[in-house]
Amino acid sequence: MNKRNIFIAILAGGKGERLWPKSRVRLPKQNLRLLGKKTILEDTVKRAKKIAPGNIFIIAGRAVSPYTKKQFKALGIRKVIAEPFGRNTAPAVGLAALLAFREKEDSILIAMPSDSLIGEEKKFFNAIKSAINAAGKQEAIVTLGIRPTSAKSSYGYIGINERPSEILARKAYKVTKFIEKHDLERAGRLVSDGRYFWNSGIFVFRTSVMLKMLKKHTPALYKGLTALPDIRKRHRFNMKLKKLYKKLKAESLDYAVLEKSENVQVIPSHFKWSDLGSFESIAALAKADKDGNVIFGNYAGIDTKRNLVFSDANRLVGTLGINNLVIVATSEVVLVCDRNRSEEIKKLVEKIKNKKNLARFL
């Protein structure tokens, strides 16, 4: 496959609601410096440029802040498409597939989240290469499945039929089951089984194959996408895109296409990976102090254990005699919650959404 025919779509429309208020609508988690000097988006683009430097799309949310636009410009990304409304991953991936297909009909697209943390890049690039080879030879959607290191109830899982002793890294296997987020007990059983992988949300496919699958499984989405005008007529394109998205329902690519398709394959992968989707996932990657506290920012505490604390540069958080909390102090919002319930922060966000006078804090 000609490398010039490889395209990458970075999906940057997520809001990171389980990381609220650190992650906000106008400054979502992919634009934050959570674990280093660079934002997650910057790291993602840097990896993408090593694969397909001139063929990168960013599919972003409509509430793109001036800061985010500045980031795109600094990263040298010119192909930025702002979705008029959030409609989950099926429309976003379908849109990217259409745009890449219109540029090169024999293109292969790698769709990846903007907000995942990836380590051991050599292993990652080897897995991507294997996925490109598999997708180029057949009509299949190929995903990267991460070998689980522990039970995670917040991750989706991908299952295959092969026995664990038969599974080889970098070989493509037919996916037999997609399992959405579930309870920790079941997650433990899946990990022990040995035939299940974390769903990384990274997909590789020939764009012609994806469009064919969209036509079969989501004909309304396919019809709407293929009716869009040339993107070089940008104003007209954006008008038509907005009209289309108003009609679409929010659907994940997994639900809309993959779970209905007969030829989805997975490459078992062993690189370090995290979706950074919760405060606990961040804490797992950071160093705790002698009392088990994980601290980001200005902090002082006495008789305080196992807390996760974020404070903005102009804020100081002080604690006395409290344990096992998540505390986030920003310039506008303070969050305090039981660390064992931090996965439920999205419920709090939903409640705030229903209060018009509080919407500015989202």
Per residue in 119-165, pLDDT (tens digit) is 889 999 999 999 999 999 889 999 999 998 888 878 889 988 887 76
Structure tokens at 237: 């394109």
The CA distance from 255 to 90, in Å, is 8
> Taking 60 as the threshold, does the pLDDT of residue 286 lie above it?
yes
DSSP secondary structure string for all residues of 70-132: HHHHHTT---EEE-SS---HHHHHHHHHHHHHHH-TT-EEEEEESS-EE--HHHHHHHHHHHH
Question: Taking a C-beta distance cutoff of 8 angstroms, is the pair 36, 117 a contact?
Answer: no
pLDDT above 80: residue 102: yes
pLDDT of 21 above 70: yes
Q: Given a cut of 60, is residue 196 above it in pLDDT?
A: yes
Is residue 1's pLDDT more than 60? no
Question: Residue 41: is its pLDDT beyond 80?
Answer: yes
Q: Which residue has the higher pLDDT, 18 or 71?
A: 18
At 191 the pLDDT is 81
Pick the more confident residue, 32 or 105. Answer: 105
What is the pLDDT at residue 354?
92
Q: Is pLDDT of 179 > 90?
A: no
Q: Residue 274: pLDDT above 70?
A: yes
The whole-model pTM stands at 0.92
pLDDT of residue 67: 65
Q: Per DSSP, what are the bridge partners of residue 145?
A: 199, 268
pLDDT at 204: 97
pLDDT tens digits, 209-243: 999 999 999 999 999 999 999 998 989 999 999 99
Backbone angles phi, psi at 105, to 5 degrees: -70, -20
Long-range contact pairs involving 354-362 (C-beta distance under 8 Å, separation at least 24): 361/21, 361/332, 361/333, 362/20, 362/24, 362/25
The mean of the pLDDT values for the chain is 90
User: Can you tell me the mean pLDDT for 46-70?
Assistant: 82
Q: Which residue has the higher pLDDT, 304 or 77?
A: 304
Asked whether residue 29 carries a pLDDT value surpassing 70, the answer given is: yes
* 315 SS3 class: coil
pLDDT value at position 82?
Answer: 87
- The β-bridge partners of 296 are 310
Instruction: Identify the pLDDT of residue 38.
Output: 85
Give the pLDDT of residue 2.
Answer: 60
Q: What's the rounded mean pLDDT across residues 177-192?
A: 81
State the burial class of residue 129 (Cβ atoms within 10 Å of its Cβ: 0-12, 13-18, 19+).
middle
Measured CA distances, 145 to 63, 135, 332 (Å)? 31, 15, 39
Assess contact for 297 and 310: CB atoms under 8 A.
yes
| pLDDT, mean of residues 302-322 | 94
Domains (ranges, CATH) in the chain? Answer: 3-278 (3.90.550.10), 286-361 (no CATH)
pLDDT tens column, 315-354: 999 999 999 999 999 999 999 999 999 989 999 999 999 9
